[in-house]
Chain A
Amino acid sequence: MTLKSMLMSAVATVALTPMAFADAHEGERGRDGQLNIIYWQAPSTLNPYLSGGTKEVESASLVLESLGRFSDTGELMPWLAADIPTVENGGLAADLTSITWTLKEGVMWSDGTPLTAADAVFTWKYCTDPDGGCAQSSYFDGVENIEALDDLTIKISFNAPKPFPYTALVGSESPILQAAQFADCMGANAPTCTDANFGPIGTGPFVVTEFKANDVIQFAANENFREEGKPAFATVNFKGGGDAASAARSVLETGEYDYAWNLQIDPTVLADMESKGLGTVVTAFGTSVERLHINQSNPDPALGDERATLKHPHPFLTDPEIGKAMSMAIDRALLVEVGYGAGGQVTCNVLPAPAVYASTANDGCKVQDIAGANAVLDAAGYMDTNGDGIREKDGMPLSVTYQTSTNAVRQDTQALVKQWWSEIGIDTELRNIDASVFFGGDPASPDTFQKFFADVEMYTNNFAGVDPEAYMANWRCSEIPSPDTQWQGSNMQRFCDPAYDALVDKLAQTAGIDARAEIVKEMNDMLMASYSIIPLIHRGGVSAHANTLGGVLISDWDSELWNIKDWYSTK
């Protein structure tokens, strides 16, 4: 450590000390005036069950709450519930088929009526109505019944043992709605309830005073909020629109706003803005991984309807040695530096978090090794026989198409990867497709990520909450998209291994975090060893807040605004 950096850290310590005192910031409700938040993608509705988009879920989390929320460390905290039910405290049945939650006493809706277990039961019925098109219905998967044992006790029964039962009514995606307000909005009537969808009554720290769809939301402090002296802010102005760069500018350069969300912009530009000293960039790492999927089936157009199906294995990408060389050739640290900055970390696992599930078996990929990659291909017998710089397998050149969605960072990554692969004798053709088409499920379009009519594709995926069971089940054989399933399915790379499927089944019947972690790590390592997925970057959510805003604990496990009740101004 040089003298200069020592001095700097000394200054920083002195500067931070008052902030530590400020954390004990208390006073009467609404003392800090207005909080200005900018989400450059504007919320379209405040009913997360009708949208499912992150912007709607997070804006609604100021108003609607659930039984438990995940903290910035991924820990499940009791929120509307008095405590977290476990097998030890008797809340979770020993056979894992039911869970019993107890609500905190005296929680009021913002209209002054009490929150009861009947509201939770109603929410379940609302979201599982077959005509409603509820976007969060997967949170109620496996739920056989939800009943109110008394006003404060909710019993959720599952149709099979559920080792991780904290999904229904837990987290910002699955909050409790007020039965009285939404009673007439079931099923097909859901869209007729505009007033309710735009102004849900909640138990949270704020109430909606004005909602303009895709534009702006005004909130005011909830006078019936259960915690004394919270929230500190009297009003919230939740503005939407524009783009990520201008949102960052409004917090870091002009100081007009206090909090800006999702700032995926050029890291040098963001660092430049931050250096103005008005605000701070914060990052939260969840489970998002930018990865390459290596197609195990043959996407050759000559195959017609059987293109990209398991009937025709890929001519050379099914060999893990090629995937291994492709992975070794990539300098992940440079990809982070060019495209992600503080918002990215090098990863060698498709499941990098929570920490207990992260494998360390594959860490060799963190360092680029072009010579090693060439040696792997030489040893496997792929040689350049005709001197054009491209290796061949039985006379067939190792030439791949590499597709992703249209996005400046992704196109930079593509160009770098193409360069590195050319150094190991693999020829790459690049394609990019508009995100709404690429991620759209239109079975008529040839360009969707499910159809995967290319050799390599890149995108980011993650899972909500902290339990990876459903996520790891994505790579079962039965999840492979094909014409028989109208190209639905989540096993994009068409990985199929009966041993893996057996582990999926085993995980579904195993309780206890350590035993589950063992299985999950083994599954992750199997996927990595197949080289059908090449993880690149562990991506975090990047946001910025004004230096005068205190209490921000950004979380990627729940809504970023999960603890907004504790935010305060240090002005």
Chain B
Amino acid sequence: MLTYTIRRLILTVPTLLFISFVIFLIVKLSPSDPTANLPLTIPPEVREKIRESLGVNQPLTVQYLLWLKQFFWLEPRIVLEGWFGWDLGTEGEIRLISYQTRSPVMDLIWQRMPQTLWVVGTAYLVGILIAIPIGIYSAYKQYSVFDQAGTFISMVGFSVPPFFSGVLVIVIFSVLIPTDSFWWLPSIYDTTHEVVDWESFKFQFRQMIMPVMVLALQITAQISRFARASMLDNLNQDYVRTARAKGVRERGVVMKHVLRNSMIPVVTVIALGIPGIFGGAIITEQVFKVNGLGQLLIIAIQGGDVPMVQTLTFIFAILIVLFNLVADVLYGLLDPRIRYD
């Protein structure tokens, strides 16, 4: 298992290098211009100067190699300096600078991480906690009213986009319900809010309800369908009949034998979804102004901010590659039938 993991980890290096190059080319060769969104009152000579100062006009290979150097050599050293207080000689080096803000890309990413992890991470957790019981019960009582209702809700969760469901809950809970009511919820997320006491925690909880529920609806839909299908596969297996024949109580059959076996693929699906948490939820973040990593990415794309888009998408790529590996390893650990060595 260990050698397998190490072999896979070594293989990720060329994979990631290749991915970074492809991302770079896609972003760079697309017709975008960091000065395109400026007012038309700014004359073309000035725009050219701005592009010049951003380094947009340098040869592609120079830009790519510079990005590699900054991302893999300079930025990690700065992180280490920040954590341990060492001096690794990064003073005075030009960091990876975003075109739009003219500030270091990694600082912005660190700044955005908390709200994305809070909102999208909580939604993921809530989604899983709701989805698995629904999946289990739906499978056990297949074609019952509960199962039909679960199927219906999953379909709604799958097919209703968050730009609809998000605005719908805002209209209900922020517009129709009066502001002084207990049920009223804020439609705009305050990213500067800090939780220090019970009151501020209550506020944080209230402002997270709507974005988390909208996201959790989608996550629940996906995972509950998966859990149900996996349960159904196992419920008809021979070992289940054997267990019942041995006189194991129904509860024990379902919750011990069937559930543990059906969770193997579900756990892998959950692991594969984790990079998505870091990717943020672009639309939901926009609707509730959570302004996390998803919003950072979409604003950067609109603004032609190549270093930001490149770095963010590459970090997502790293996470996806890593969690694929984690999912494979988990699968091997959980399922004794699977051994990689």
- Contacts from A to B (Cβ < 8 Å): 38, 42, 44-45, 47, 50-54, 130-138, 188, 190-192, 194, 197-198, 210, 212-216, 218, 237, 239-243, 246, 249-250, 253-257, 435-437, 439-442, 444-445, 447, 459-464, 488-490
Contacts and interface: CB of A to CB of B under 8 A. Distances in A.
7 contacts: A42-B291, A51-B100, A135-B42, A138-B42, A191-B94, A254-B170, A441-B44
Interface string B100-112: 1111100110011
B187 A256 contact: yes
A45 B102 CA distance: 8
A214 B40 contact: no
A135 B50 contact: yes
Interface residues of B, number: 57
Contacts of A460: 40
A463 B39 CA distance: 9
> Which 5 residue pairs are nearest across A and B when measured between Cβ atoms?
A133-B53, A440-B33, A440-B36, A488-B44, A241-B289
B31 A249 contact: no
Contact of A213 (B41, B101, B179, B304): B101
Interface string B213-230: 000000000000000000
Nearest to B290: A241
B286 interface: yes
B145 interface: no
Interface in B33-57: 33, 35-54
A241 B286 CA distance: 6
B208 interface: no
Contacts of A490: 43-44
B200 interface: no
Contacts of B295: 214-215, 241
B332 interface: no
B40 A461 contact: yes
B286 A243 contact: yes
Contacts of B40: 439, 459-462
B175 A218 contact: no
B149 to A, nearest CB: 32
A489 B36 CA distance: 15
Contacts of B38: 51-53, 135
B5 interface: no
Contact of B291 (A134, A240, A257): A240
Contacts of A54: 39
A265 to B, nearest CB: 13
A216 B39 contact: no
B192 interface: yes
Interface string B280-307: 0000011101010001100100111000
Among A53, A212, A254, which residue has the most Cβ atoms of chain B within 10 A?
A254
Nearest to B94: A192
B188 A214 contact: no
A441 B36 contact: yes
A441 B170 contact: no
Given A256-B188, A447-B31, A197 B42 contact: no
Contacts of A191: 94, 97, 102-103
A242 B289 contact: yes
Nearest to A141: B43
Interface of B: 31-33, 35-54, 94, 97-98, 100-104, 107-108, 111-112, 167, 170, 174-175, 179, 186-188, 190-192, 285-287, 289, 291, 295-296, 299, 302-304
A192 B36 CA distance: 23
A194 B104 contact: yes
B32 A436 contact: yes
Given A213-B108, A241-B286, A463 B41 contact: yes
A239 B188 contact: yes
A535 to B, nearest CB: 15
Contact of B175 (A53, A249, A464): A249
A194 B38 CA distance: 21
Given A53-B38, A135-B42, A444 B31 contact: yes
Contacts of A44: 100-101, 303
A138 B46 contact: yes
Given A138-B42, A240-B291, A440-B31, A214 B104 contact: no
B187 A216 contact: no
Nearest to A460: B40
Contacts of B46: 52, 134-138
Nearest to B179: A255
A216 B170 contact: no
B50 A42 contact: no
A287 B8 CA distance: 62
B41 A194 contact: no
B304 A436 contact: yes
Nearest to A243: B286
Contacts of A42: 291, 299
Given A188-B53, A445-B31, A52 B188 contact: no
B192 A212 contact: yes
A459 B36 CA distance: 14
Given A216-B291, A241-B291, 8 more contacts: A130-B49, A133-B53, A134-B46, A138-B42, A194-B104, A214-B291, A436-B304, A441-B44
Nearest to B184: A254
A38 B101 CA distance: 19
A137 B49 contact: yes
A213 B105 CA distance: 11
A190 B103 CA distance: 10
B39 A464 contact: yes
B188 A257 contact: yes
B189 to A, nearest CB: 9
Nearest to B29: A444
B49, B191, B289, B303, most chain A CB atoms within 10 A: B289
Contacts of A213: 98, 100-101, 103, 108, 111
A212 B111 contact: yes
B31 A442 contact: yes
Contacts of B45: 488
Contacts of A447: 31
A53 B39 CA distance: 6
A445 B48 CA distance: 16
Contacts of B54: 133
Contact of A194 (B102, B192, B286, B299): B102
A250 B175 CA distance: 9
B47 A437 contact: no
